[in-house]
Structure 1
Amino acid sequence: MTAEAPTPHRIATISVLTSPLAQPGGGDAGGLNVYVVETARRFAAVGVQVDIFTRAAAPRLPPVVELCDGVLVRHVPAGPAREIDKGALPRVLGEFADGMLRTRGEYDVVHAHHWLSGRVGALVARARGVPLVQSMHSLGLVKNAVLPGGEGSAPMLQIAGENAVIAAADRLVANTAQESDQLIALYGAAPERVHTVHPGVDLTLFRPGSRSQARARLGIPEDAVVLLFAGRVQRLKGPDILMRAAAEVLRADPDLGHRLVVAFVGGPSGDGQADPDQLTKLATDLGLGAHVRVEPPCPHPELADWYRAATLVVVPSRAETFGLVAVEAQACGTPVVAAAVGGLQTAVRGGVSGVLVEGHDPVRYAEVIRELMHNPARLATLRKGALSHAAGFGWGEAVDRLIAVYRAAIAGVRGQP
């Protein structure tokens, strides 16, 4: 450490899209929430204070909530004190920025998560004379490439906002090398400002355990073949692909009729919120009603049980900047069948910790699933590989690398004329 690159003492983290106190797995709460909370906890553990600014989205919320020693969640009044559609959030960003600027105290760096937060962060960072570090978490141009003009695609307002934030940021943090390449190729980000920092998982929570005990706690038969989807239920995440693949598996292996369990743990999100019963209806249409369990988002200890109970975790996302679910599952010793897209190609080591599937054809997913179900030795090898691969994704290394990014950003701002 040098005088030109000091360690930050206090960070202003911005999460406009969703509160860090929300339960991940439904609505707009997902990996972003986990990332913000887990990094903040670990920053605090090494003596770096964190204030997380989020919108006051409910009446009578306390202005400040202590998440843990050294981490405060600050509720900023901006727009109505209730949940609003994220399409309306751009209209309250100015009010949000004003609320942040009225907060007393000095910050060494502003770290914004998602483009909406970045719009606020750019204003606050410049007003305070500190650097803006930006994490996008999703990219509209990537989403539009897989959902062209359809439900869930990103509007042009978002694309324009993303471009503005990427241009304004002093440093950009990408979850994977693929995302770094996308920031540079699609948005013209300066390569020297882009840093790749893999997210982590809580390896003390997501760890191997007794499958029998997990299944007993969840009410799953001991001899079941369990295919698990965990996360927000929206088209981008591909829950329909798993449902159709499961129907193909059952068609090809009718003897599985008394053993197959297809579990979806998560709530409707995005376009899925307009049709919260879509999974149940699709299951009925495909003749899978008796085999499907649709469960609400759950706390991490229960989610870890679901991972341990699963035969395979299936992550058929049409786009994914990282794929936290895939790493969490592998940390519990469960192999993953995932789409060979975006960050999943980093989160899953194909052929070692799971199988990466090209394309999104349910028939191909069914073939992969059936092949693994009928090859216990292969499954056992993948379980060992899953544990080994996930062990490299602890939060400690991620936080160390983020602090290095902050140091570089601070030094860069102080070095400007």
Structure 2
Amino acid sequence: MLRIALVCLHTSPADEPGSGDAGGMNVVVLHQAQALAALGHDVEIVTRRSTSTAPAVVNLGESLRLRFVDAGPAHPVAKGDHEKYIDEFGERLSELGPYDVIHSHHWFSGMAALPVARARRIPHVQSFHSIAADDATPLSDGERSESPGRMAGESWLARESDALIAISNAEARTIETRLGGDPARITVVSPGVDSGLFTPAAHDSSTTTRAHYAVVAARLQPLKGLDLAIEAVAAVSPDLRPDLVVSGDASADFDGYVDELSRLAELRGIAEAVHFIGPQSREALAELLRQASVVLIPSHSETYGLVALEAAASRVPVVAAASGGLREAVIDGVTGIVLDSRDPAAWAQAIARLLSDDHEAAALSRRAREHAEELSWSRSAEALLSVYTGLASPIAVA
């Protein structure tokens, strides 16, 4: 049995995805933690206390705990401001344990946890989930550094951590080329999907009986390309045009962004067809996806794109941007449509094609479900364990 610490400084994995700064990372960490505990290991998730009402520890299951530590104010703060609390969080983390391995998620967590791991002579594993870009990189659109020390911090973590976990081959290449990570220490661990929760609708044999709406599920920020989703739906001919349901909310960093999107929908004449429903529970999101005609993922950059996998399990066709790991989450022409273009007309054409061609939509949806059924959280956790156990011997202090 391993004693595993999963560190998530800036957001609790128990928070509802789509609320505040909670997103795909939260889903990955929580489900991998549950699967690791189910495999017989002792798992503790450590996060910053962002509310005064949170207890010190919440038991999430047998051998699985969520621990809140005091670092900074006991209320939500903008994501980029968490750099201020790294040292205090690291001090609190040093008082916890014992652990056999510390696995940090996001660079804030790694900056706090790596010194603790070194002091204890135990392995430190780093997952980034997103990686900063400077203005000279081709992925800089919507992907600026979130706080002053991020780019230097991520490079340091890539050099000094004992193992680096990437969620996709695309992220692995970014870790190597942008951060200088050693390929020998990078392992791609694909996410899973709960195929029992995200299931097809009873009427999935025909798109004509689905509800006539498209879904975007994401944190509401420019990086996610929600303006393109609105422009694309507006460009679909009125006789085919679906409503657009937007699941998620803006974090403190992007206050007012929903108003911007609402004004865009009004400008394009589809204000009544765009519905902002806020963040959804996992059960509500599963129901929303399975009833949809199509799922849109127009992000400028994604390390993977979990929503694409959840849509696949729901047997719903996806139109996705050819960015980062989305090329791996969606197999173009097999499980969905992947577009290199960000031209709304090209997106509108793809949406219209799926809405008007039941045969193509059904074929993509069927193969998408088959693909999703191959990916489980247990499989993902086993891949993580192979990395952890490979680092089981004590790490020498540098």
Corresponding residue SS for 1:134: strand
1:186 equivalenced with 2:178 (yes/no)? yes
In 2, the alpha carbon distance for the partners of 1:43 and 1:244 equals 42
Describe the superposition over 1:18-45 as per-residue Cα deviations: whole angstroms up to 9, x where unpaired.
0122111122100111111101111111
How far apart are the structure 1 equivalents of 2:122 and 2:51? 30
Partner in structure 2 of residue 82 of structure 1: 75
1:294-336 deviations in Å (ceiling 9; x for gaps): 1111111110111111111010110000000000000010011
Is the Cα contact below 8 Å between 2:201 and 2:291 reproduced in 1? no
What's the offset of the Cα at 1:234? 1.0
Distance in 2, matches of 1:414 and 1:246, equals: 53
SS in 2 for 1:54: strand
2:152 counterpart SS class: helix
Residue 243 (1) aligns with residue 234 (2): no
Task: Report the CA distance between 1:142 and its aligned residue.
Answer: 7.8
Cα pair distance change 1:293/1:149, threshold 3 Å: closer
| TM-superposed deviation, 1:278 | 2.4
1:154-186 per-residue CA deviation (whole Å, 9 max, x = no partner) reads 455211111111112100000111111111111
SS of the residue 2:11 aligns to: coil
How many residues are matched?
396
Find the aligned partners of 1:82 and 1:323 in 2 and give their Cα distance.
Answer: 28
- Supply the AA of the counterpart residue of 1:87: G
Q: Cα–Cα, structure 1 residues 170 and 265, in superposed 2: closer, same or farther, change >3 Å?
A: same
Shift of the 84–31 alpha-carbon distance from structure 1 to 2, 3 Å rule, reads same
Do the aligned residues in 2 keep the contact of 1:224 with 1:261 (CA within 8 Å)? no
Note the C-alpha offset of 1:120.
1.0
CA distance in 2, matches of 1:409, 1:387: 35
1:161 aligns with 2:148: no
TM-score, structure 2 as length reference: 0.94
Aligned position for 2:296:
314
Contact 2:228 2:342 in 1 (8 A): yes
8 Å CA contact 1:144–1:153 kept in 2: the answer is no
Three-state SS of the structure 2 residue aligned to 1:206 is coil
Q: Does 1:54 align with 2:41?
A: no
Alignment CA distance shift 1:328-1:210 (3 Å)? same
Task: Measure the CA separation in 2 of the matches of 1:152 and 1:263.
Answer: 27
C-alpha distance 142-180 of structure 1, shift in aligned 2 (>3 A): farther
Give every structure 1 segment of 4 or more consecutive aligned residues whose post-TM-superposition deviation is greater than 6 Å: none
SS of the equivalent of 1:276 reads: helix
Deviations 1:198-240 (A, max 9, x none): 011111111212359xx9xxxxx96642111011111111111
Which residue does 2:238 correspond to in 1? 254
TM-score of the pair, normalised by structure 1: 0.90
Over 3 Å counting, the alpha-carbon distance change for 1:378 and 1:149 in structure 2 is closer
Matched, 1:15 2:2: no
- The residue number in structure 2 matching 1:26 is 19
- 1:336 counterpart = 2:318: yes
> Is 1:232 paired with 2:219?
yes
Structure with the bigger percentage of helix: 1
Shift of 1:144: 7.4
Matched, 1:42 2:30: no
Letter in 2 for 1:279: L
Deviation at 1:153, TM superposition (A): 4.8
RMSD: 2.2
Q: Which moved more, 1:262-271 or 1:397-406?
A: 262-271
Question: Do structure 1's residue 381 and structure 2's residue 374 form an aligned pair?
Answer: no
Question: Which of 120, 126, 140 lines up with 1:128 in the alignment?
Answer: 120
Corresponding residue of 1:175:
167
For residue 364 of structure 1, what is the aligned residue in structure 2? 346
**Cα distance in structure 2, aligned partners of 1:360 and 1:91:** 36
8 Å CA contact 2:79–2:253 kept in 1: the answer is no
Partner of 1:68: 61
- Whole-angstrom distance in 2 between the partners of 1:98 and 1:35: 26
2:196 alignment counterpart: 204
Q: Is the 8 A contact 1:143 1:319 kept in 2?
A: no
* Aligned residue number for residue 264 of structure 2: 282
Report if aligned partners of 1:14, 1:110 keep a CA contact under 8 Å in 2.
Answer: yes
The Cα of 1:415 is off from its aligned counterpart by 7.8
Could you tell me which runs of 5 or more consecutive residues in structure 1 were left unpaired when the two chains were aligned.
1-7, 216-220
Give distance in 2, aligned partners of 1:222 and 1:52: 42
**Aligned counterparts of 2:324 and 2:143: Cα–Cα separation in 1:** 20
1:97 equivalent to 2:94? Answer: no
- Equivalent residue for 2:106, pick from 114, 119, 129: 114
Contact 1:144 1:154 in 2 (8 A): no
Runs of 5+ consecutive residues of structure 2 not aligned to the other structure: none
